[in-house]
Amino acid sequence: MRINEERLRQRMDRINAIAVTEEEGMMRLALSDADREARDLLVSWMEEAGMSVRIDDMGTVYGVMKGTDEKALPICVGSHMDTQPNGGKYDGFFGVMAGLEAILSIKESGLELDSDLILADWTNEEGARFVPPMLASGVNAGVFDPQWVYDREDTEGVRYEDELKRIGYQGEKENRLTKAKAYLEPHIEQGPVLDAKGLSCGIVTGALGITGLDITISGEANHAGTTPMSHRKDALVAAAEAISRIRKNCIDFGEPAVITNGIINAQPASKNIVPGTVYFSIDLRYHTDEGMAELEQQTKDIIQKTCDEFGVSVQIEQYWRAKPAVFNETIVGCVEEAANEKNLPAMRIISGAGHDAVFISEIIPTGMIFVPSIKGMSHCPQENTKWEDLVAGTELTADVLVKLDKETI
């Protein structure tokens, strides 16, 4: 399916010109004035194309292009338009614009689909303004309580619901996306794999589950000069050894397992005092529930054993748990088939990041399309994707929507 490249480029440039940082990053925080301006433009383009627009109670915007069969379930495509502070031009935003352009191109091609095609712009995917991420899609999937989301505050103490009202995007609960034949989310990879392999497209089969652990090791703070090595209970050397060992274990466990220790600090944090306490975080990801549980247990056991060896004690607490997502095989198959038909260099890939699609997959058959991120950079002004890959991803989105309309799911 050919798309209107020039329209896609002009519309992306138009919204990406709304709120630009000094480093040429995007600053379209959820429910900000910039977000409102982007929404207003999106709504105007939907209406101009003859789509009917509805807003749900979380502020998610849906544009509906009518199909020919009243009884057919709708097919939804979308992503989010909010950004990180000083974020990139494509994270989320590409999915919304690719979805819009795909729907318009299908209509303009003269093809008539049975299903309604719905374009969705989910509110607050980033979690940059209101924590945690994916608030609107989480409510839509029944994961979050809507009142709890309304009461989320940004760092200034401003409530989600109050901002939703202020920018004029508080709609009705009845408008949520509760039933659909399929949900498809085009997105940038935000990782280095496709770019490093020189591929144009990722056929996303699911998303890694996440286990977050807080590790606190307690030894004995002591004088750096007067305490012989043999008399020490150094919390940091135990932590360092544990970090080395759990990393090796994770690599041996095999891809796509990843482990990250993003935060570490030692107390009392004096150059001439042996650390008595060390805290570090663990972010552990895997693509199956059983594997995740096994990897988590191995990781905990290694830490416990290491601390025993060093004569220090350890507390391990789980601060986060997100189940792996497994996408619908029929939808994944449609993406793969469409990529093959276009001769797009592609591979099956598992998403390491969270996406609205992860929550939506709990209630609606879901799939995703990845386009490459140059050097894997994201959440920064350097985030980039070749224009031809964005065009190919948009065309692929249109092709997949047409296939999904014909497919039984």
Nearer to its own copies, 272 or 408 (CB): 272
Binding of its own copies by 189 (CB under 8 A): yes
Token digits of residue 389: 């890959």
- Which residues, 104 to 133, sit near its own copies by CB under 8 A? none
CB of 90 to its own copies, least distance (A): 14
Nearer to its own copies, 157 or 228 (CB): 228
Q: Which amino acid is at 64?
A: V
Reduce the DSSP state of residue 293 to 3 states and report it: helix
- To the question of whether residue 126 is assigned a binding role by annotation, the answer is yes
CB of 210 to its own copies, least distance (A): 7
CA 224 to chain centre: 45
* 258: nearest Cα among 211, 301, 305, 217: 211
CB of 193 to its own copies, least distance (A): 7
Angle, CA 246 vertex, CA 276 and CA 257 arms, to 5°? 140
Of 2-10, 17-25, 114-122, 278-286, the segment contacting its own copies by CB under 8 A is 278-286
The answer, yes or no, to whether the previous bond of 74 is cis (omega within 30 of 0) is no
DSSP 2-47: ---HHHHHHHHHHHHTSSB-TTS-B---TTSHHHHHHHHHHHHHHH
**Residue of 193, 215, 325, 371 that binds its own copies (CB under 8 A):** 193
* 327: nearest Cα among 159, 143, 202: 202
Nearer to its own copies, 106 or 292 (CB): 292
- To the question of whether residue 379 is assigned a binding role by annotation, the answer is yes
**Residue of 21, 52, 178, 265 that binds its own copies (CB under 8 A):** 265
- To the question of whether residue 80 is assigned a binding role by annotation, the answer is yes
CB of 153 to its own copies, least distance (A): 20
* 311: nearest Cα among 214, 222, 212, 213: 222
Number of residues that bind its own copies (CB under 8 A): 60
Binding of its own copies by 198 (CB under 8 A): no
Give Cβ neighbours of residue 158 (< 8 Å, ≥ 6 apart): none
DSSP-assigned beta bridge partners for residue 370: 187, 202
Binding of its own copies by 158 (CB under 8 A): no
**Residue of 272, 290, 343, 408 that binds its own copies (CB under 8 A):** 272
Token digits of residue 175: 């408008």
Nearer to its own copies, 4 or 222 (CB): 222
CB of 247 to its own copies, least distance (A): 5
Contact indicator for 127, 113 with CB cutoff of 8 Å: no
Cα distances (Å, whole numbers) of residue 88 to 61, 81, 198, 373, 389: 21, 11, 21, 11, 16
CB of 360 to its own copies, least distance (A): 18
Separation of alpha carbons 75 and 102, rounded Å: 13
Binding of its own copies by 353 (CB under 8 A): yes
- Which residues, 217 to 246, sit near its own copies by CB under 8 A? 222-231, 234, 236-237, 239-241, 243-244
Binding of its own copies by 179 (CB under 8 A): no
- To the question of whether residue 187 is assigned a binding role by annotation, the answer is yes
Contact indicator for 237, 290 with CB cutoff of 8 Å: no
**Residue of 107, 352, 362, 409 that binds its own copies (CB under 8 A):** 352
Binding of its own copies by 273 (CB under 8 A): yes
Residues within the interface to its own copies (CB under 8 A): 189-193, 196, 208, 210, 212, 222-231, 234, 236-237, 239-241, 243-244, 247, 250-251, 255-266, 269-275, 278, 281, 283, 285, 351-354, 376, 378-379
